[in-house]
């Protein structure tokens, strides 16, 4: 395992090396593969390591009320609002090393690059590593960015993971209080903009020969929890014609989800990614099945039509097979356009670094940026990933691409400073 020298100059290769460093125990809860769920022991170890790197880069670091790691590089005066750069530090099970984490490392490298040159801005720069984007532990995702953006709303916080550990208990283990989760919220006037660098998690940039791309919008997303209730019975004595098999019904429902997702435009996708069968015994006809449904599209109306069609199809299957169906909406994320002004600055930066017109993309994957758009204007930089593979150990990036991403990020921050300073702020010329 390669460890980066602490006094090495800011660089894209160092960002990659640090992601690799965080890819194993103690930064993973599993010795067999990378798994870094929210509020686990690996999460705690990771925050300690990241905090040290943030401090080395010239920032002050803290863990907020939601378990996010937040660092601040002060501006020319201490109360200045901040440009926020970030992504997430949690992972799915059996994950790759760059999803989310590379964006956090690039945020640190961006600040380090300016700190090495002694450059301060008329605003602060904050780097944030969100604790829970993936939803790989508790049955909701982007919980911690929603806390920061102040959009927790009526979210039920009586959540438990697969082992029955509640969110309140997990937060307590971090020295945090579930009743104070919303204290992570930030005021609109304190955050000027949010920028996120992320691997594409798709094949477009690689197929078209682009190292970098600029995100124009993030797709709308629904997430449902479906529960099918049939009648459990002995597999040897319950006649086939008399069965109300929850799993057989659920299997037909999964195929309906696939059919409807595949019948729409190219940007529509529908996925069943998790299923639990009860009682889960070989010689018992399944009596209950719970499964997830994820529906996404670049346009909200397309997503909504697909969701309506899936609801109708599942209800018909349940009625025909004589099983119960409970379908609960767990997450509703609208399509999120990125800010045109910020995206223009980022596109100009990419053009300068790569010498080519930037590729604009719609992100089919959800990101913390879509939540942060409730708090501040957002922009996203995509990096090419090998084969478009993500959420898998084969996830890979080219260090030269990451170096270009760092150069684009520093170029963007410089452009942002010029645009912001010339926008008629209340700062004096001396403060600027």
Residues 32 and 81 in one domain: yes
Instruction: Let me know if residue 431 belongs to a domain.
Output: no
Q: Establish whether the linkage from the previous residue to 26 is cis, with ω within 30° of 0.
A: yes
**Closest to 140 in 3D by CA, of 124, 155, 130, 154:** 155
What's the CATH number where 16 sits? 3.40.630.10
Residues 74 and 158 in one domain: yes
| pLDDT tens per residue across all 432 residues of the chain | 333 334 579 999 999 999 999 999 999 999 999 999 999 999 999 999 999 999 999 999 999 999 999 999 999 998 999 999 999 999 999 999 999 999 999 999 999 999 999 999 999 999 999 999 999 999 888 999 999 999 999 899 999 999 999 999 999 999 999 999 999 999 999 999 999 999 999 999 999 999 999 999 999 999 999 999 999 999 999 999 999 999 999 999 999 999 999 999 888 999 999 999 999 999 999 999 999 999 999 889 999 999 999 999 999 999 999 999 999 998 888 889 999 999 999 999 999 999 999 999 989 888 999 999 999 999 999 999 999 999 999 999 999 999 999 999 999 999 999 998 876 443 333 333
Report the run of H or E that residue 381 belongs to, with start and end. strand 378-383
Instruction: Let me know if residue 427 belongs to a domain.
Output: no
What's the CATH number where 226 sits? 3.30.70.360
Known binder of ligand: residue 223? yes
Known binder of ligand: residue 398? no
What residue numbers bound the domain in which 321 lies? Answer: 220-333
Instruction: Let me know if residue 4 belongs to a domain.
Output: no
Known binder of ligand: residue 77? no
Instruction: Let me know if residue 123 belongs to a domain.
Output: yes
Residues 66 and 133 in one domain: yes
Instruction: Judge whether 199 and 99 are in contact, CB under 8 Å.
Output: yes
Residues 279 and 404 in one domain: no
Residues 319 and 354 in one domain: no
Residues 252 and 326 in one domain: yes
Secondary structure (H, E, C), 197-251: EEECCCCHHHHHCCCEEEEEEECEEEEEEEEEECCCEECCCCCHHHCCCHHHHHH
Known binder of ligand: residue 392? no
Q: Which residues pair with 288 in a beta bridge?
A: 229, 278
- CA 59 from chain center: how many Å? 23
Instruction: Let me know if residue 213 belongs to a domain.
Output: yes
Instruction: Let me know if residue 5 belongs to a domain.
Output: no
Instruction: Let me know if residue 31 belongs to a domain.
Output: yes
> Of the candidates 312, 333, 354, which is a domain's last residue?
333
Here the tokens at position 340 are 């045109």
Which residue, chain included where needed, has tokens 């069965």? 243
Specify the pTM.
0.82
Known binder of ligand: residue 93? no
> Of the candidates 333, 361, 393, which is a domain's last residue?
333
Residues 294 and 210 in one domain: no
Residues 19 and 130 in one domain: yes
Known binder of ligand: residue 296? yes
Residues 17 and 94 in one domain: yes
Residues 123 and 228 in one domain: no
Residues 212 and 239 in one domain: no
Q: How many domains does one find in the chain?
A: 2
Known binder of ligand: residue 43? no
Instruction: Let me know if residue 428 belongs to a domain.
Output: no
Residues 350 and 290 in one domain: no
> Of the candidates 310, 333, 356, which is a domain's last residue?
333
Known binder of ligand: residue 198? yes
Residue 277 three-state SS: strand
């Amino acid at each position: 395992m390669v460890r980066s020298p602490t006094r090495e100059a800011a660089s894209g290769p160092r960002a990659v090396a640090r992601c690799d460093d965080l890819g194993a125990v103690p930064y993973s809860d599993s010795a067999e593969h990378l798994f870094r769920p929210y509020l686990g022991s690996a999460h705690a170890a990771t925050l300690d390591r990241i905090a040290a790197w943030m401090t080395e880069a010239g920032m002050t670091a803290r863990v907020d009320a939601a378990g996010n790691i937040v660092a601040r590089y002060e501006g020319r005066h201490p109360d200045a609002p901040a440009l926020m750069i970030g992504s997430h530090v949690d992972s799915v099970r059996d994950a790759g090393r760059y999803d989310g984490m590379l964006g956090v490392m690039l945020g640190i490298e961006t600040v380090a690059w300016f700190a090495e040159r002694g450059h301060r801005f008329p605003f602060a720069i904050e780097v944030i590593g969100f604790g829970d984007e993936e939803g790989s532990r508790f049955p909701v995702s982007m919980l911690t960015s929603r806390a920061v953006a102040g959009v927790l709303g009526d979210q039920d916080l009586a959540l438990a993971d697969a082992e029955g550990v509640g969110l309140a208990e997990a937060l307590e283990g971090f020295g945090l209080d579930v009743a104070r989760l919303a204290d992570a919220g930030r005021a609109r006037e304190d955050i000027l903009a949010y920028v996120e660098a992320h691997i594409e998690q798709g094949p477009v940039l690689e197929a078209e020969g682009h190292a970098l791309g600029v995100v124009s919008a993030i797709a709308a997303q629904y997430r449902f929890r479906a529960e099918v209730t049939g009648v459990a019975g002995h597999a040897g004595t319950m006649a086939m014609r008399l069965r109300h098999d929850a799993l057989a019904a659920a299997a037909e429902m999964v195929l309906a989800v696939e059919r409807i997702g595949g019948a729409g435009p190219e940007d529509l996708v529908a996925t069943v990614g998790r299923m639990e069968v009860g009682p889960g015994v070989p010689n018992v006809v399944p009596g209950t099945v719970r499964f997830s449904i994820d529906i996404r599209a670049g346009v909200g109306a397309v997503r909504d039509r697909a969701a309506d069609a899936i609801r109708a199809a599942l209800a018909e299957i349940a009625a025909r097979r004589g099983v119960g169906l409970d379908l609960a909406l767990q997450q509703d994320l609208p399509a999120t356009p990125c800010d045109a002004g910020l995206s223009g600055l980022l596109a100009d930066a990419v053009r300068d670094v790569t010498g080519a017109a930037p590729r604009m993309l719609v992100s089919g994957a959800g990101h913390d940026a879509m939540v942060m758009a409730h708090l501040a204007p957002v922009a996203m930089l995509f990096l090419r990933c090998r084969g478009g593979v993500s959420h898998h150990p084969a996830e890979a990036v080219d260090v030269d691409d990451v170096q270009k991403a760092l150069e684009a990020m520093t170029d963007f921050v410089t452009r942002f400073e010029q645009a912001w300073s010339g926008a008629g702020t209340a700062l004096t010329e001396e403060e600027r």
